[in-house]
């Protein structure tokens, strides 16, 4: 029974005695004043031994009692620990006093940002890509955040550059979030291709480049699955960097340029064919000239050359008949 109380597995409110700080400070100052005056009066009556015997314990009690004072701001909590046993989480704001032998682990509930630096991952079709993200998160369950995460080892601390400026008590939390975010980002990236390989690929297929909203939702889902075990809630996760890895970036750039040129050529040819058809139809409709099949083919060829050429066509003047 006692084991289930000391290890509840979730956060609950602290139900112990917490006194107003200013009232306790007034009482403590009064006790300190009495503990000074009384030994002085006894000393004056030529009883220095008794005076010292009273002054020393009173001074020690005053110093111990001062340890119980603490100030708490909005969106901050204190995890109360009584000689290794979890007693609850105190979340009220203000100036308070609690039993000085009660350990108080400060935990912030404020929203935090983390910039996950670009990492190299293989996408769905095996192309190496560089991908990074911005993570917005906060602590939701203080019990799990304090007791379910172990401290990171030295190797992890060396890899995490931002861990060097983090409070020592929060390094375990930041290290856990960074490692799990890296793993979730790799998992999500492996389910999607960077981009459609060909121009005629199905437009409904979600890719890393085109499916921004869907990718971010999938990323948030995976992160919540991984971080909920530590009492952490993901507010937002968004990809902020996406590019091919340097070793294939040049090749992929040429492929994208070729695809763009092909798409542009298709538009040019489509427009040229429609213009040639319109010209032939108008000539016949208005009875401007009558052309046989050979001359129609020659006219179509000439018009397509003029309309599809990269450079302006050079005109040739025919001084003979139509057939010479």
What is the SS3 string spanning 26-91?
Answer: HHHHHHHHHHHHHHHHHHHCCCHHHHHHHHHHHHHHHHHHHCCEEEECCCEEEEEEECCEEEEEEC
Residues 121 and 237 in one domain: yes
Q: Given 106, 128, 157, which residue is the final one in a domain?
A: 106
Q: Are 144 and 231 in contact (CB under 8 A)?
A: yes
Residue 236 lies in a domain: yes
Domain of residue 224 covers 112-244
Residue 46 lies in a domain: yes
Distance CA(308)–CA(315), nearest Å, equals 15
Residues 232 and 256 in one domain: no
- Average pLDDT of each block of 10 consecutive residues along the chain (324 residues)? 59 93 94 86 77 86 93 95 94 95 94 93 90 95 91 56 59 90 94 74 73 88 93 94 83 73 80 82 75 76 74 64 54
Residue 323 lies in a domain: no
Residue 319 lies in a domain: no
Residue 315 lies in a domain: no
Residue 324 lies in a domain: no
Residues 271 and 207 in one domain: no
Residues 211 and 124 in one domain: yes
Residue 317 lies in a domain: no
Interacting residues of 83 by C-beta distance below 8 A, sequence separation 6+: 101, 103
Residue 62 lies in a domain: yes
Residues 125 and 240 in one domain: yes
Residues 228 and 292 in one domain: no
Residues 255 and 166 in one domain: no
Residues 25 and 139 in one domain: no
> For the chain, what is the domain count?
3
DSSP string computed for 151-175: PP-HHHHHH-GGGGGS-GGGHHHHH
Residues 120 and 238 in one domain: yes
Residues 135 and 239 in one domain: yes
pLDDT of amino acid 177 = 93
What's the pTM value of the predicted model, to 2 decimals? 0.70
Residues 237 and 123 in one domain: yes
């Amino acid at each position: 029974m006692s084991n289930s109380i000391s290890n509840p597995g979730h956060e609950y409110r602290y139900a112990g005695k917490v006194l107003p700080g200013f009232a306790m400070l007034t009482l403590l100052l009064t006790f300190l004043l009495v503990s000074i005056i009384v030994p002085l009066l006894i000393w004056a009556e030529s009883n220095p031994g008794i005076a010292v015997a009273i002054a020393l314990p009173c001074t020690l009690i005053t110093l111990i009692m001062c340890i119980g004072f603490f100030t708490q701001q909005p969106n901050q909590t204190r995890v109360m620990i009584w000689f290794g046993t979890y007693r609850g989480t105190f979340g009220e704001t203000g100036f308070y006093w609690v039993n000085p032998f009660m350990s108080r682990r400060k935990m912030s509930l404020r929203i935090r940002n983390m910039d996950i630096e670009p990492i190299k991952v293989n996408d769905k079709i095996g192309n190496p890509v560089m991908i990074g993200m911005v993570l917005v998160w906060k602590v939701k369950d203080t019990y799990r955040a304090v007791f379910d995460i172990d401290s990171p080892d030295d190797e992890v601390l060396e890899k995490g550059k931002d861990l060097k400026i983090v409070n020592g008590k929060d390094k375990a939390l930041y290290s856990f979030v960074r490692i799990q975010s890296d793993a979730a980002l790799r998992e999500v990236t492996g389910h999607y291709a960077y981009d459609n390989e060909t121009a005629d690929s199905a437009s409904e297929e979600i890719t890393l480049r085109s499916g921004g909203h869907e990718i971010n939702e999938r990323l948030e889902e995976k992160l919540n699955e991984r971080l909920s075990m530590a009492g952490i809630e993901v507010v937002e996760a968004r990809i902020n960097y996406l590019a091919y890895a340097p070793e294939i970036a040049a090749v992929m750039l040429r492929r994208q340029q070729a695809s763009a040129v092909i798409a542009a050529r298709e538009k040019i040819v489509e427009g040229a064919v429609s213009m040639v058809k319109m010209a032939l139809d108008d000539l016949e409709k208005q009875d401007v000239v009558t052309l046989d099949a050979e001359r129609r083919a020659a006219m179509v060829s000439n018009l397509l050359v003029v309309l599809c050429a990269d450079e302006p066509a050079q005109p040739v003047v025919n001084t003979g008949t139509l057939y010479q």
